[in-house]
């Protein structure tokens, strides 16, 4: 069985007392809260009953004023009627708000409101007839018992609502009485029971503490003698520990200097890695710009190729036109010869025509010569166009290959940049770790210095421990005498 400490036993006693007080307090609080809530609900029911009485009284006052005016015909008798009319609307509105949590009462108010409106309309109708047509006209409306029947219905509904509220009052009063009785029972029986339980617990705790103290004092007496023997060994061990701590402190100082050198190198590596990362980013940007320029050249070469193809097509068209012009020159030369023959046949009259025919023949010859030269030039142009088209096609392929290689170089540089960034991040982390290591080594050096000082203090403290052990032995003896231990 596990033994509890003295503080634990005392704490357990207080905890049990607090628990019992808490249970009684919560129970009393809950019942008090229910009593307060019940009192509020009862007050609410009394307010509803009072408002129902006011409504019925206002209707009766209005009816009294109506009857007095019907009989006497004087305006002074309408004062109760007017006062009742003003109070009825307010009473109905307050009843609707006060019973918002009671659906049954809300339904009764929904039935009551039109009945009250009809009753008020009946009273107003009789009063208007009395004013305008006289007593007999108003008396005919009264003899129909319409107003009486409406008033009886109103009284019945108000009576039902009053009975509902009175039933609620009885129920709530019963709950309040039950809660009050439960609270009194808790006070009358709970508090004495708690006192008895706490007294019994106090007896057992005190008895167990006394037994435990006796056992502890006996152990204290035997332990104090062992402590006296141990302090001598601790003194010699403390001296040896002080020497070892001094040697360890010197070693830690050397390690600290090495860590400082490593931290400086890690910082240099981090700075170099960051510069390399920046250079890689700049190289990647340059490659991206080159790719854009190469793409522009590729687009331009495509446009040039399209222009050369168009020129080639136009050259073919010109060749066809030259063939047609050459054919026309041949036909003109033949026609000129025929014209010259005919002119000779004509004699003197055909001389002028012969001159014209000769000129036409000369022009035809010149046209043939010109078309021959143009054909020769066009042939050279077509050869140059074909060579240019071939060169443009080869240039486009070379540019396309350059774009592909530039993109590949850009991807390689991008991967290299990512690797350099990762290396830079790693070097930054290494530098941070080295800095933390430096801080740690400083703390270790400081701790070792503290340990060295503490070990020196331990050497002096062992003598004090020996004296304290003797005092402890005397204290155990006095405690045994105080509680009667043998």
pLDDT digits (tens, 9 = 90+) for 415-455: 766 766 776 676 677 667 667 766 776 776 787 678 678 76
With vertex at residue 239, the alpha carbon angle to CA 234 and CA 245, rounded to the nearest 5 degrees, is 115
Provide the residue ranges of all domains of the chain, joining segments of one domain with +: 6-218, 243-467
Picking from 193, 293, 213, the residue whose alpha carbon sits closest to that of residue 9 is 213
Q: Which two tokens stand for residue 269?
A: 């590596």
Output the tens digit of pLDDT for each of the chain's 486 residues. 556 666 676 777 778 778 877 887 787 777 667 777 777 777 888 888 898 998 888 898 888 888 888 888 888 888 888 888 888 988 889 999 988 988 998 999 999 999 999 998 988 889 988 888 888 888 888 888 888 898 899 999 999 999 999 998 888 888 877 777 777 776 777 677 768 876 887 777 677 666 666 666 567 667 666 766 665 665 566 567 667 667 767 766 776 677 677 667 767 756 776 776 777 677 677 767 867 876 776 787 778 678 767 767 776 786 777 777 678 777 877 877 787 787 777 777 666 767 777 777 787 788 778 778 877 877 886 787 777 677 767 877 876 787 687 677 677 767 766 766 776 676 677 667 667 766 776 776 787 678 678 767 766 776 776 677 677 777 777 766 766 655
Tokens of 380: 């050279």
Q: Please give the CATH superfamily to which domain 243-467 belongs.
A: Methyl-accepting chemotaxis protein (1.10.287.950)
CA-CA distance, 333 to 27, in Å (whole number)?
A: 139
CA distances from 393 to 203, 312, 390, 397 (A): 112, 14, 5, 6
| pTM to 2 decimal places | 0.36
Token digits of residue 93:
């509105």
Q: Tell me if 2 sits within 8 A of 212, measured CB to CB.
A: no
Residues 155 and 95: their CA atoms lie apart, in Å, by 15
Burial label for 137, CB within 10 Å (0-12, 13-18, 19+), is: middle
**296-312: pLDDT as tens digits:** 767 877 786 787 677 67
Which residue's structure tokens are 């009250």?
116
Q: Which residues, other chains included, contact 362 with Cβ-Cβ below 8 Å and sequence gap of 6+?
A: none
CA–CA gap between residue 412 and residue 405 (Å, rounded): 10
DSSP-assigned letters across all residues of 318-365: HHHHHHHHHHHHHHHHHHHHHHHHHHHHHGGGGHHHHHHHHHHHHHHH
Q: Is 62 in contact with 85 (CB distance < 8 Å)? A: yes
From the number of C-beta atoms within 10 Å of its C-beta (0-12, 13-18, 19+), residue 435 rates as middle
Residue-wise pLDDT for 126-177, tens only, equals: 998 888 888 888 888 888 888 889 889 999 999 999 999 999 888 888 887 7
DSSP 41: H
Are 412 and 287 spatial neighbours (Cβ–Cβ below 8 Å)? Answer: no
Enter the tokens of residue 449: 């210095």
Query: In this structure, are residues 346 and 353 in contact, taking their beta carbons and an 8 Å threshold?
Result: yes
């Amino acid at each position: 069985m596990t033994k509890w400490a003295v503080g634990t036993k005392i704490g357990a006693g207080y905890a049990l007392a607090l628990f019992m007080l808490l249970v009684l307090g919560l129970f009393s609080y809950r019942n008090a809260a229910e009593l307060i809530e019940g009192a509020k609900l009862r007050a609410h029911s009394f307010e509803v009953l009072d408002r129902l009485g006011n409504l019925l009284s206002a209707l009766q006052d209005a009816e009294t004023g109506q009857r007095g005016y019907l009989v006497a015909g004087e305006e002074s008798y309408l004062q109760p009627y007017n006062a009742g009319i003003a109070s009825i609307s307010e009473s109905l509105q307050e009843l609707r708000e006060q019973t918002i949590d009671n659906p049954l009462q809300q339904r009764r108010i929904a039935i009551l409101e039109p009945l009250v409106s009809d009753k008020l309309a009946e009273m107003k109708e009789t009063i208007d007839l009395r004013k305008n047509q006289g007593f007999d006209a108003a008396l005919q409306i009264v003899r129909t018992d319409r107003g009486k029947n409406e008033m009886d219905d109103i009284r019945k509904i108000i009576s039902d609502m009053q009975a509902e509220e009175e039933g609620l009052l009885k129920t709530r009063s019963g709950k309040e009485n039950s809660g009050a009785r439960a609270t009194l029972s808790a006070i009358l029986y709970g508090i004495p029971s708690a006192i008895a339980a706490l007294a019994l617990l106090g007896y057992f705790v005190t008895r167990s503490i006394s037994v435990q103290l006796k056992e502890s004092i006996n152990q204290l007496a035997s332990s104090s003698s062992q402590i006296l023997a141990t302090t001598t060994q601790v003194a010699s061990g403390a001296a040896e520990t002080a020497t070892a701590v001094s040697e360890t402190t010197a070693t830690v100082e050397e390690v600290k200097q090495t860590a400082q050198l490593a931290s400086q190198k890690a910082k240099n590596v981090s700075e170099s890695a960051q510069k390399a990362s920046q250079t890689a980013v700049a190289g990647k940007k340059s490659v991206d710009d080159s790719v854009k320029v190469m793409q522009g050249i590729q687009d331009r070469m495509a446009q040039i190729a399209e222009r050369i193809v168009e020129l080639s097509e136009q050259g073919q068209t010109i060749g066809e036109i030259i063939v047609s012009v050459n054919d026309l020159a041949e036909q003109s030369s033949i026609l000129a010869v025929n014209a010259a023959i005919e002119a000779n046949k004509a004699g003197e009259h055909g001389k002028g025509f012969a001159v014209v025919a000769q000129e036409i023949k000369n022009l035809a010859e010149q046209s043939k010569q010109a078309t021959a030269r143009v054909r020769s030039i066009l042939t050279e142009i077509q050869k140059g166009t074909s060579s240019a088209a071939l060169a443009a096609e080869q240039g486009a392929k070379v540019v396309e290959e350059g774009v592909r290689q530039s993109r590949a170089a850009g991807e390689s540089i991008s991967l290299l940049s990512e690797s350099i960034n990762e290396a830079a991040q790693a070097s930054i982390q290494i530098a941070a770790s080295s800095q933390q290591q430096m801080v740690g080594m400083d703390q270790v050096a400081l701790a070792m210095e503290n340990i060295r000082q503490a070990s020196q203090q331990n050497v002096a403290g062992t003598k004090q421990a020996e004296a304290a052990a003797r005092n402890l032995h005397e204290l155990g003896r006095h405690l045994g005498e105080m509680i009667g231990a043998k």
